[in-house]
């Protein structure tokens, strides 16, 4: 037991007891005196508690390990199941499919994850995304306007929405091709029934401030 005192305590005791052998000094010596048998009576139960705690900890650790493995297995299995059913968000679906099959993912309903021409990677749409249907509709309008200047024109607002989705004005063409899953569309192959004409579509529909009509090519 603590029968030695810190210097600061000893100093105070010297002052308090005036060097006499009893008083507070004696009290503190008694308070910190040797262990009494009664104080050590609980050894057995303390030891038992220690062993139980250790055993419980080992069990918890083992259970934790098993649970961890189970979670990993379950999540892999679940992901595989969801992937098989094509229920995952596009990018995850794509990753899981390439992971499990070693093949390219099938086109999914989520824009940006659809099969796209390997040579023209489109910017992936942001995660927070307007409904796919709307984007698709916008893209169709965009492509139509590109192909045919007489088609309904893309408004400035729609164009801004597309630019936002495609992370920039210049990416809209690639983006829309990726969304629609169409091959690179040239004006020459556009399905406007005027194949071979030199008449270009609007390469930049909706461009310019408040422009609602494409610049018409000058006819002779």
Partner 1 sequence: MTALAETCPTPFAHGAARRAAEAAALDDRLGAALTGAIAGDAVAFTELWRALQPLVLRYLRVVCGDAAEDVASETWLQASRDLSRFSGDTTAFRVWLFRIARNRGIDENRRAWRRREEPHETVHDVGEAAGAVARDAALDAGDRSGTEWALRMIRTLPAEQAEAVMLRVVAGLDVAGTAQVLRKRPGAVRVATMRGLRRLAEHPEVQAHRDTDPREGS
- Number of shown-chain residues binding partner 1 (CB under 8 A): 51
Q: In angstroms, rounded to a whole number, what is the distance separating the alpha carbons of residues 63 and 196?
A: 72
Contact region with partner 1 (CB under 8 A), list: 21-29, 82-90, 107-115, 135-143: 21-29
CB of 43 to partner 1, least distance (A): 6
Q: In angstroms, rounded to a whole number, what is the distance separating the alpha carbons of residues 93 and 157?
A: 32
The residue (of 13 and 176) whose beta carbon lies closer to partner 1 is 13
The count of other CB atoms within 10 Å of the CB of residue 61 is 10
The residue (of 56 and 120) whose beta carbon lies closer to partner 1 is 56
Could you say which of 50, 81, 100, 184 contacts partner 1 (CB under 8 A)? 50
> 62-90 as b/e, with b when 16 or more CB fall inside 10 Å?
eeeeeeeeeeeeeeeeebeeebeeeebeb
| By CB under 8 A, residue 10 contacts partner 1 | yes
The residue (of 10 and 99) whose beta carbon lies closer to partner 1 is 10
| By CB under 8 A, residue 11 contacts partner 1 | yes
| By CB under 8 A, residue 196 contacts partner 1 | no
| By CB under 8 A, residue 128 contacts partner 1 | no
Q: In angstroms, rounded to a whole number, what is the distance separating the alpha carbons of residues 179 and 142?
A: 12
Q: In angstroms, rounded to a whole number, what is the distance separating the alpha carbons of residues 158 and 176?
A: 13
Residues 23-42 that bind partner 1 (CB under 8 A): 23-40, 42
- Reduced to 3 states (helix: H, G, I; strand: E, B; else coil), residue 211 is coil
- Reduced to 3 states (helix: H, G, I; strand: E, B; else coil), residue 148 is coil
Site for partner 1, rule CB under 8 A: 1-14, 16-17, 19-40, 42-43, 45-47, 49-54, 56-57
């Amino acid at each position: 037991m603590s029968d030695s005192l810190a210097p600061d305590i000893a100093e105070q005791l010297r002052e308090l007891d005036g060097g006499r052998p009893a008083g507070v000094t004696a009290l503190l010596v008694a308070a910190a005196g040797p262990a009494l048998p009664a104080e050590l009576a609980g050894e057995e139960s303390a030891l038992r508690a220690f062993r139980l705690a250790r055993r419980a900890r080992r069990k918890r650790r083992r259970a934790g390990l098993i649970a961890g493995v189970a979670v990993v297995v379950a999540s892999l299995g679940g992901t595989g199941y969801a992937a098989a059913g094509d229920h995952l968000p596009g990018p995850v679906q794509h990753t899981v499919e390439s992971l499990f099959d070693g093949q390219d993912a099938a086109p999914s309903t989520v824009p940006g994850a659809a099969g796209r021409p390997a040579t023209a990677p489109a910017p992936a749409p942001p995660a927070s995304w307007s409904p796919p249907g709307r984007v698709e509709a916008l893209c169709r309008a965009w492509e139509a306007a590109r192909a045919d200047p007489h088609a309904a024109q893309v408004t400035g607002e729609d164009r801004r929405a597309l630019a936002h989705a495609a992370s920039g004005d210049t990416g809209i063409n690639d983006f829309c091709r990726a969304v629609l899953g169409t091959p690179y569309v040239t004006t020459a192959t556009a399905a406007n029934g005027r194949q071979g004409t030199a008449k270009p579509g609007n390469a930049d529909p909706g461009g310019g401030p408040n422009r609602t009509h494409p610049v018409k090519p000058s006819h002779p």
